[in-house]
Amino acid sequence: MGYKRIMFAGTGSGCGKTTVTCAVMKALCQEGTKVVPFKCGPDYIDPMFHTHITGQSSTNLDSFFMDKNALCHLMDQRLAEPDAFGVVEGVMGFFDGMGMSAAASSFEIALWTKTPVILVVNARGMALSAAALIQGYVSMARRLGGEGLIRGVILNQVSKGTCEFLKNAIEEQTGVKVAGYFMYQEDGMLKSRHLGLVTAAEVADLDERMNVLAQAAASSIDLSLIREIAGSVPQLQYEEPDFEPLIRSFRQERGTMTSPLRMAVARDQAFGFYYNTNLELLERLGVTLVPFSPVSDTLPENIRGLYLGGGYPELFARQLSENTALRNQIREAVKGGLPVIAECGGFMYLHQTMEGLPMVGVIPGSCEMTGKLGPFGYVEITSQKADAFGMPGTKFKAHEFHYSRSLEPGEDYQVSKANGRTWKEGFSSGSMYAGYPHLYFYSNVEAMIHFVKQMREHI
């Protein structure tokens, strides 16, 4: 399976790859293509736009979180239907990974999955230098074992005339086809803030903006060439990941259960940063996800678990604080042993105060915005005592990215980076995980099964 797939990668952050990717996705969808979206790396926001555009859940492909086997398996499962057309958006620059290596880069994911790449190049102000830049990427890919991966380029921020002027030189000098160009579209642009783009739910006229981008793509990008390149790929090769037998065994074990395992999931303008694969794994383990709004709702009835993900709670701190009934409910539920996962924004919400306003109060101290990026990047966390996921020593791969700080950050988990730096942070109890790191659940399915068993036992 998985015969149609293509990646749009960039020369660097800010080159326009998200805009171009969204434009092509929308244009393909308007032609009747069933686009199945993917995002390289640990981003939460771009996948929201992918999902809105395509109507299909966007999946993170991350070679820090997953080994090659698991990543190819996950991609193949998403492309299982014969008419599926996989579109992958890269992250940062094509080769940018951990430190000065290509590990966990868009390149590594393209190499592992044998996915052909369209390189998005901001060619504004360039002539022959555009060919030199592209040739550099082609040569680097060859040196790293990815000869032939880069199959085309899209020239961003240039006109039709400039594209025609550059096209022959680029193709003659690099052997890479120019798949078109893309001009700045004022009516299609999306705003940004400190954690990235604004979320899809916050853009009232998102459909209109995406239509503008799609119209531009249809008139300036060779979609037939994109289809041709995407169809010239081999079948994905992999062995079944170790976690699949664990999931099958647990599903058989819980087959006799009659009552649903309901888990409240915070989803509103304040909370919305979730890996779709995390939510899907919970569902595969028999959990019924019940969305609710911490801004305006009370806790859903008959829940056995609570998931407070990341987001922008600091922007809605007053509304969250004024929902006193919910704050009291969550505080009592946590004290009563309700299994809870609270990541980043959810962790902030559980503090006594945030930005000087009362919050839930199960985490001591306050949380405040600093205007500076805190600990950032891939980490592995290790529990220092028994927690919601199992015994001491339980590990998860995770990612941190925040501009706030906790005055009482906790010390129940050891956090380790690949460069050897370690520190302690986070809070745990027999039923709760609360900390800045966003966990990747498939990195420890056994621990997630333990968590779901705790949900089953909670009364």
Instruction: List active site positions.
Output: 344
Instruction: Indicate if the alpha-carbon torsion angle 13, 142, 74, 223 is positive or negative.
Output: positive
**Structural tokens at position 444:** 């420890």
Measuring CA to CA, how many Å separate 32 from each of 18, 35, 83?
21, 9, 10
Residue 172, H or E segment: helix 160-174
DSSP 188: G
* 414 phi/psi in degrees, rounded to 5: -90, 130
Contact 366, 352 (CB under 8 A): yes
What is the distance in angstroms between the CA of the first residue and the CA of the last residue of the chain? 43
The closest of 391, 390, 395 to 379, measured between CA atoms, is 395
Contact 329, 363 (CB under 8 A): no
Contact 335, 311 (CB under 8 A): no
The residue behind tokens 């783009």 is 197
Per DSSP, the three-state class of 7 is strand
Instruction: Indicate if the alpha-carbon torsion angle 166, 167, 171, 174 is positive or negative.
Output: positive
- Residues contacting 286, CB < 8 A, separation 6+: 250, 251, 254, 257, 261, 452
Rg for the chain, CA atoms, rounded? 23
Residue 59, H or E segment: strand 59-61
Residue 57 CA to residue 131 CA, distance in Å, equals 36
Contact 444, 395 (CB under 8 A): yes
